[in-house]
């Protein structure tokens, strides 16, 4: 009996050592990918040669960038692009030629015709207005959003889901929220309470606004199954454990950043799939970026389902954030000075 107990202890110990080693290797790999070379192609619809990629670290040349991550979205992407481009053109007609924009579709290794759809829009609208950034294989929504943001040319940078669940015109609500709370230094005081623009010599305003469906929660609870409601409450409890109470709905795929905020936040993002939104909020809090949560119109879209395996993955990613940022200290939040001055994460702000 004693020999059996000893054998079991050895087996458990070896298994625990293997699991711990594998986890540390996984965490380290995610951290290293901040600076590891990763070159998705910015495709030209009329040439085999890719377009040159700009950098979020450079000066803005557009008023607004809209990033749309897409994975197997050939059916839903056209309607979303039609709505987004229609709104942006109407806004340009109203505000004049000073309002400029770009839409970046990031194809996350789709197996369908998503890339072809995006290229068709780029061909019809011009690659200055619509661009396709193509990842060689599926890396996750988080990676797709990050890569799109890191080549944004806009002074303001929005990402939204390809399913069109949120009306792009709600962007104006997020812009107003940022204008009323923005600051000119990380962790600094707000510009003012009336939404005045940041001074020109301040290096640009800093702010972040997240779309929220929290006001729709009661109606959603009544329609969902008990199991889904239980899983949702459990997920929110874990999010609070990691990132606190400041943002009630971290997962709405409709978030707006000033250029400086986007450069700093996305250059620190490690998670590549489900819970990158939580990491964005956590990193923004650590950097001292003012965050506003704004109610937006939202529609439950057909085909937007979460499997049980996805829930398990999300829980694992939340645990990863807690371990790597707070408990083990494996991941560092790089400040703007680190990113510009050659610090550990600077190569990622490309």
Per the listing, tokens 């994460």 go with 345
Return the DSSP state at 89: H
Q: What is the dihedral of CA 258, 264, 269, 275, to 10 degrees?
A: -40
Residues of the chain with pLDDT under 70: 3-16, 18, 37, 191-203, 216-232, 302-308, 341-350
pLDDT at 222: 44
pLDDT at 239: 85
pTM of the model: 0.88
CA distance linking residue 242 with residue 278, whole number of Å: 8
Q: Crossing angle, helix 308-321 and helix 226-243, to 10 degrees?
A: 10
Do the beta carbons of residue 157 and residue 256 sit within 8 Å? yes
Do the beta carbons of residue 50 and residue 131 sit within 8 Å? no
pLDDT at 25: 84
Q: Crossing angle, helix 226-243 and helix 276-287, to 10 degrees?
A: 30
pLDDT at 333: 97
CA distance linking residue 185 with residue 174, whole number of Å: 20
As a CATH number, domain 20-348 is: 3.90.550.10
């Amino acid at each position: 009996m004693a020999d059996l107990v000893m054998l079991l202890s050895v087996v458990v110990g070896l298994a625990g050592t293997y699991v711990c080693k594998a986890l540390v290797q996984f965490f380290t790999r995610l951290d290293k990918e901040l600076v590891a070379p990763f070159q998705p192609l910015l495709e030209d619809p009329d040439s085999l040669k890719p377009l040159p990629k700009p950098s979020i670290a450079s000066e803005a040349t557009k008023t607004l960038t809209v990033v749309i991550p897409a994975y197997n979205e050939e059916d839903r992407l056209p309607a979303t692009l039609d709505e987004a481009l229609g709104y942006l053109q109407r806004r340009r007609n109203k505000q004049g030629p000073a309002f400029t924009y770009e839409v970046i579709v990031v194809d996350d290794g789709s197996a369908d015709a998503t890339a072809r759809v995006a290229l068709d829009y780029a061909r019809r609208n011009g690659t200055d207005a619509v661009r396709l950034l193509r990842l060689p294989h599926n890396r996750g929504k988080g990676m797709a959003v990050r890569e799109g943001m890191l080549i944004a040319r806009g002074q303001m940078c929005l990402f939204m889901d390809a399913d069109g669940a949120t009306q792009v015109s709600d962007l104006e609500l997020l812009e107003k929220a940022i204008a009323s709370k923005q600051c000119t230094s990380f962790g600094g005081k707000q510009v003012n309470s009336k939404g005045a623009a940041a001074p020109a010599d301040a290096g640009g305003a800093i702010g972040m606004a997240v779309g929220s469906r929290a006001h729709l929660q009661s109606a959603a609870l009544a329609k969902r199954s008990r199991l889904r409601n239980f899983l949702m409450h459990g997920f929110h409890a874990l999010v609070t454990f990691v990132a606190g109470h400041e943002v009630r709905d971290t997962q709405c795929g409709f978030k707006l950043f000033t250029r400086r905020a986007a450069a700093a936040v996305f250059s620190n993002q490690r998670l590549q799939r489900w819970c990158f939104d939580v990491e964005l909020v956590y990193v923004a809090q650590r950097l001292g970026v003012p965050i506003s949560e704004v109610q937006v119109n939202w529609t439950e879209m057909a085909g937007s389902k979460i499997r049980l395996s996805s829930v398990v993955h999300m829980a694992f990613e939340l645990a990863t954030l807690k371990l790597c940022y707070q408990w083990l200290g494996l991941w560092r939040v790089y400040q703007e000075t680190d990113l510009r001055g050659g610090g550990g994460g600077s190569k990622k702000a490309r």
